[in-house]
Amino acid sequence: MKLDEAKNKYIQTWGSLATSWGINKTMAQVHALLLVSTKPLSAEDIMDALQISRGNVNMNVRALIDWGIVRKEFVVGERKEFFVADKDIWELFKQITKERKKREIEPVLKVLEDLQKVDDDSDEAKDFKKVLGDLSKVTTTVNTILDKAIKADEHWLLSNFTKMVKK
Amino acid sequence: MKLDEAKNKYIQTWGSLATSWGINKTMAQVHALLLVSTKPLSAEDIMDALQISRGNVNMNVRALIDWGIVRKEFVVGERKEFFVADKDIWELFKQITKERKKREIEPVLKVLEDLQKVDDDSDEAKDFKKVLGDLSKVTTTVNTILDKAIKADEHWLLSNFTKMVKK
DNA sequence: CTAAACTTTCAATAATTATTGAAATATAAA
DNA sequence: TTTATATTTCAATAATTATTGAAAGTTTAG
């Protein structure tokens, strides 16, 4: 397989995975493109490579910067902005996790907690609270793991998980 | 807060979370409804409660059954089918994880592996392979954890993760 | 300042994904 | 059987989400 072909396939694969995880396809493709590129790319480079509009590039690149997984880079003698993706996949994992945790897990925990305040002590209410409690427990556990993973140093995930799995 | 109000809010919250995780909103709502219901529900009960069409109920209930998190139940003296969700949230977590792993993570690992076969030994190709390698490493690790979690007994996740986090 | 180079915004439009509902199919009671 | 009841399918349609592209906004050089 040729290198360009492989890069292309990678960009497509990553894009389709992203879709099923609720991430915009183009955002994932832009990220993948930057990840496999050896040099910083301009908005036009991205437009060309992925055949998408200027506005779309702008929106998605900004989202990636928001997520902290892409940054601007300046090239000497050039006026326009260039973008690069951090090549450290661990950092990527951490940032994405952090983002989702904040946007999705924490608000749900908040709601689950609120819902415990049902002022009713029928058996049905008790059953409901039991389900909520279980749900909170699993969600909290997952949240704690993610928290720890985010705060941990680069090798925490690999070393601890490996140890744990071998057990 | 009244019990019904709480149940309703829970169903809505779960539905909106699902959306951002690439799961169909209605599917999540149907599941939530069955989860908080004390008795088995018929297709009509679900149609009524969520104000959705018969076809929609059928599609989503079937998907939930496919995922192994909802099952049919027969009620004496009734001809129609009734549905119940397993109240065990750990089981739910396991099933969902298993499903996603099979449908999404494994195919990606396969592609990443394939892409390593680039017949080029330029520096650029080496960099690309390095990125792919890192990506595979993180993906494999996550996959292994999930595998272990799926196979483990009910308390594995909580006990091990807690131990690990305390470390 | 003014003009050129570049970036951002956002209403219009396209693409995708979910939902409906009625017809077709299946199943069970009479 | 036949009839009534229940389930499934799927083309049409609605709802949602992503993308375009041109106009407005910014920034920098001269």
DSSP state string for A63-127: HHHHTTSEEEE--TT--S-EEEE-S-HHHHHHHHHHHHIIIIIHHHHHHHHHHTT----SHHHHH
Contact A21 B134 (CB under 8 A): no
Question: Looking at beta carbons, which residues of chain B come within 8 Å of A124?
Answer: 3, 38
Across chain B, how many H-helices and E-strands are there?
8, 3
Which residues does chain B have within 8 Å of residue A143's beta carbon, measured at their own beta carbons? none
For residue A18, what pLDDT is reported? 81
B63 or A150: whose pLDDT is higher?
A: B63
Percent of chain B with pLDDT over 70: 87
What are the DSSP E strand ranges found in B77-165?
82-85
Q: Is-contact B33 B82, C-beta < 8 A?
A: no
A125 close contact with B: CB closer than 8 A: yes
Q: Do B160 and A167 touch (CB under 8 A)?
A: yes
Backbone angles phi, psi at A154, to 5 degrees: -50, -35
pLDDT of residue A139 exceeding 70: yes
| pLDDT, mean over chain A | 85
SS3 of residue A22 by DSSP: coil
Chain A residue with Cα closest to B148: A165
Alpha carbon A57 to its chain centroid, in Å, reads: 18
Q: What angle do CA A110, A112, A114 make, to 5 degrees?
A: 70
Class of domain A3-85: mainly alpha
Residues 11-40 of chain B whose Cβ lies under 8 A from any Cβ of chain A: 13, 17, 19-22, 35-36, 38
Per-residue pLDDT of B97-124, as tens digits, reads 888 888 888 888 899 999 998 889 999 9
| Residue range A3-30, pLDDT digits in tens | 999 999 999 998 888 887 778 999 999 9
Considering only residues 57-86 of chain B, list those whose CB is below 7 Å from strand C.
Answer: 59-60, 79
Cβ count within 10 A of residue B95: 18
Domain locations in chain A as residue ranges? 3-85, 89-166
Long-range contacts formed by B52-55: CB under 8 A, 24+ apart: B52/B26
CB A22 within 8 A of CB B20: yes
Residue B41 CB neighbours (<10 A): 22
Q: Left, alpha or beta for A68 (phi > 0: left; psi -120 to 50: alpha)?
A: left
For the cut 90, the answer to whether the pLDDT of residue B155 exceeds it is: no
Tokens of B44: 């009509």
For residue B35, the chain A residues in CB contact (below 8 A) are: 131
Across all residues in chain B, what is the average pLDDT?
Answer: 86
Residues A138/B90, Cβ–Cβ less than 8 Å: yes
Q: How confident is the model at residue A92 (pLDDT cuts 50, 70, 90)?
A: confident
Angle at which helix B3-20 crosses helix B25-36, to 10 degrees, equals: 150
Is the CB of B59 less than 7 A from some atom of nucleic acid strand D? yes
